[in-house]
Amino acid sequence: MRWNRAERLWAAGLLVLAIAAPFFLYPVFLEQALCMALFACAFNLLVGYVGLLSFGHAAFLGSAAYVTAYTVKAWGLPPELGIVAGVAVAALMGLVFGWLAIRRQGIYFAMITLALAQMVYFFAVEAPFTGGEDGIQAVPRGHLFGLFDLDHPLTMYYFVLAVFLFGFAVIVRAIDSPFGQVIKAIRENEPRAISLGYRAEHYKLLVFVLSAALAGLAGSTKALVFQFAALTDVDWTTSGEVVLMTLLGGIGTVLGPVAGAFIVVAMQNYLAQTASWVTVIEGVIFVACVLAFRRGIVGVIAPFVTGRRASADIPAQRPEVDAAPLPPETAKETPPVG
Amino acid sequence: MLAHLPAMPPAPLFFAQLLVGLINGAFYAMLSLGLAVIFGLLNIINFTHGAQYMLGAFCAWFLLTRFGIGYWPALVIAPIAVGIVGVAIERLFLRRIARLDHLYGLLLTFGLALAIEGIFRQEYGSSGLPYSIPPELEGATNLGFMFLPIYRAWVIAISALVCGATWFVIERTRLGATLRAATENPALVRAFGIDVPRLVTLTYGAGAGLAAFAGVLAAPIYQVSPLMGSGIITVVFAVVVIGGMGSILGAIISGFALGLIEGLTKVFYPEASNTVIFVIMVIVLLIKPAGLFGRAS
């Protein structure tokens, strides 16, 4: 996809905004939002472009957060190596989970990923090194490459921004590559893609691993931002939250998950007084999005601001499935009662 | 690894854990049964199922504390009340998205579950509220090898009965035949003059009512807590994946069996008792991706 003039302007404007933001807003809030935005983008890679809805992505975010927190705190690894360790573990888990989960599609895929993530959750509760209910606290941020002191708020912010931009660039590059064309073809019509000689399972697994690794990158960075890793990172409500961010921003749009993440994180930080009200509001947004706003914020706005009508990156419209980028193959698995 | 395994535990402990497993299994069976019935006709995974189970327990608690209405009437009133809520949910929300990808149904019911649970958590916190065992079912009998609390025996018996009755209605009655036909081919069943949309609404209501019934049964055992539903529902999902969603009997059998296996794991290797069902799910997926009782797709 070549960017048109309007899109280039928007990209430049957003970048300037991102660089200037810490002078106007609380850096930790921005860092949290960027981590969740990367997490949502990684999730969106799977649901928006392959049509696989994972309900267990918190497993990758949380495991990477635990690994980074543990290796940095207990082994004294520098932050960059801690992040590499976290991402490696997340990618490995993605390989195993993906290998198991892509055997089924649609609803089953969602339930299997959820169940696998619950396994990780209970493991985190029991395992000796995760600190159980307390989590791993007081994780040192350290010096990046031995040079940059991450305890400095602005340094930390620009580091998180760089990590986010790296992950985001990987996703955009993957979507625009020939590889990205193949995965979109698989989403639209898997049997045809297979008949053209593409090994669909292979591609799905690769995207799953990439998505898990990037979710891990977000989790590792988040662990350094908050200086702790805890059970909420692997909890299934976090898996639900990333679905919400992506749905609200626009499934299958490049910037949608980012917008969704910023809105949800802002709501959690500023709008709602207690955790239970956050849950209520999130639930209501979920219902409203599914009923009336399935294309999401960016999915609705993007055609107006970029002048690009129905670009290739907005999922193809199937008349009977109102702008649904989710896979058509779910209809196949409908065993009857009895 | 083997060296860490404890020796055969004393018999009373063994049977006590087996009983706990059987009780959990009874709830898994009732809940996965409801999920299977709803999935059969609506093709959605009802994520609100856990919240409906919780609503059933809260309904019983309300009836007792606000109106002094006891356990036995609650066992009838709560499922009807939650069933009506279910009918409203189907009419207001699920019907509107019935033509969309079924994953939207999952997302919508997940959102509803979040909202319902959040409201109850806001009102009642996350700690459990006590609900006492009805006087008729207090006490325990000595079976010789263990003490059997009467309430627990009642839960196992009634849940087996409810599961059996549901199976009978779906597999052996005219209503069930219509239901199964509507699952296979709703358009054709409509052509025979049967109001399929109403059937769908009532099925969802019945599924919700079943979850609420399980919730009332659970109230004296697990206490009444806003989080009781989300705690059990993920395990029930794994049970459903293991059993294969197409089968009513499969849902019942795998529910009870997995509860028992979980109980046994608690005896022999307690650290794994929370994960054992998920591990079994992985193994089943490797060997038979459609689930033990599911049809290959």
In this predicted structure, what is the pLDDT of residue B115? 94
Q: Nearest residue on chain A to B273, judged by CA atoms? A: A122
Tell me the HSE value of B189 on the side-chain side, using a 13 A CA sphere: 20
For residue B8, pLDDT over 80 is answered with no
- Give the CA angle between residues B157, B162, B166 to the nearest 5°: 150
The C-alpha of B147 sits at a distance from chain A's nearest C-alpha, in angstroms, of: 31
Residue A177 to residue B48: CA distance in whole angstroms: 40
Q: What are the angstrom distances between the C-alpha of A23 and each of A20, A26, A27, B129? A: 6, 8, 8, 48
What ipTM goes with this model? Answer: 0.82
Pairwise pLDDT comparison (B269 vs A322), residue with the higher score: B269
| In chain A, % of residues over pLDDT 70 | 89
Which residues in B lie closer than 8 A to residue A337 (C-beta atoms)?
36-37, 39-41, 170, 179-180, 183, 246, 248
pLDDT tier for residue A36 given thresholds of 50, 70 and 90: very high
DSSP B223: -
Token pair 């609100």 is found at B48
Residue B268 to residue B14: CA distance in whole angstroms: 9
Mean pLDDT value of segment B123-133 = 85
Pairwise pLDDT comparison (A325 vs A247), residue with the higher score: A247
pLDDT tier for residue A24 given thresholds of 50, 70 and 90: confident
Q: Do A283 and B37 touch (CB under 8 A)?
A: no
Residue A121 to residue A93: CA distance in whole angstroms: 13
C-beta separation of A299 from A251 below 8 A = yes
In this predicted structure, what is the pLDDT of residue A2? 64
Nearest-CB residue to B234 (from A100, A106, A115): A115
Q: Where are the beta strands (DSSP E) in chain A?
A: 143-144, 148-149
Q: In the predicted model, what is the mean pLDDT of chain A? A: 84
Q: How far is CA B90 from the centre of its chain?
A: 19
Q: A128-170: per-residue pLDDT in tens? A: 888 777 788 877 887 778 777 777 888 889 999 999 999 999 9
Q: Nearest residue on chain A to B94, judged by CA atoms? A: A291
The C-alpha of B115 sits at a distance from chain A's nearest C-alpha, in angstroms, of: 4
For residue A338, pLDDT over 60 is answered with no
C-beta separation of A330 from B102 below 8 A = yes
Residue B6 to residue B10: CA distance in whole angstroms: 11
For residue A325, pLDDT over 70 is answered with no
Q: B57-104: per-residue pLDDT in tens? A: 999 999 999 998 889 999 999 999 999 999 999 999 998 888 888 888
In this predicted structure, what is the pLDDT of residue A171? 93
In this predicted structure, what is the pLDDT of residue A327? 46
Q: A293-320: per-residue pLDDT in tens? A: 888 888 888 877 776 654 433 343 343 3
For residue B296, pLDDT over 70 is answered with no
C-beta separation of A69 from A85 below 8 A = no
pLDDT tier for residue B244 given thresholds of 50, 70 and 90: confident
Give exposure, B94-116, as e/b (b: 16+ Cβ within 10 Å).
Answer: beebeebbbbbbbbbbbbbbbbb
Mean pLDDT value of segment A72-92 = 91
In this predicted structure, what is the pLDDT of residue A334? 42
- Give the CA angle between residues A327, A242, A79 to the nearest 5°: 125
Which residues in B lie closer than 8 A to residue A280 (C-beta atoms)?
114-115, 118-119, 122
pLDDT tier for residue B209 given thresholds of 50, 70 and 90: very high
Q: Do B100 and A278 touch (CB under 8 A)?
A: no
Q: Nearest residue on chain B to A318, judged by CA atoms? A: B100
Identify which of B120, B129, B137 has the alpha carbon closest to the alpha carbon of residue B55: B120
The C-alpha of A180 sits at a distance from chain B's nearest C-alpha, in angstroms, of: 23
Q: Do B278 and A116 touch (CB under 8 A)?
A: yes
Q: In the predicted model, what is the mean pLDDT of chain B? A: 87
Which residues in A lie closer than 8 A to residue B119 (C-beta atoms)?
276, 280
In this predicted structure, what is the pLDDT of residue B7? 57
Q: Do A106 and B45 touch (CB under 8 A)?
A: no
For residue A274, pLDDT over 90 is answered with no
Burial class (CB in 10 A: 0-12, 13-18, 19+), B272: middle
Residue A98 to residue A92: CA distance in whole angstroms: 10
Q: What are the angstrom distances between the C-alpha of A307 and each of A6, A8, A10, A311? A: 7, 12, 12, 10
pLDDT tier for residue A189 given thresholds of 50, 70 and 90: confident
The C-alpha of B28 sits at a distance from chain A's nearest C-alpha, in angstroms, of: 15
The C-alpha of B288 sits at a distance from chain A's nearest C-alpha, in angstroms, of: 10
Tokens of A230: 């805890």
Nearest-CB residue to B93 (from A276, A287, A336): A287
In this predicted structure, what is the pLDDT of residue B284? 87
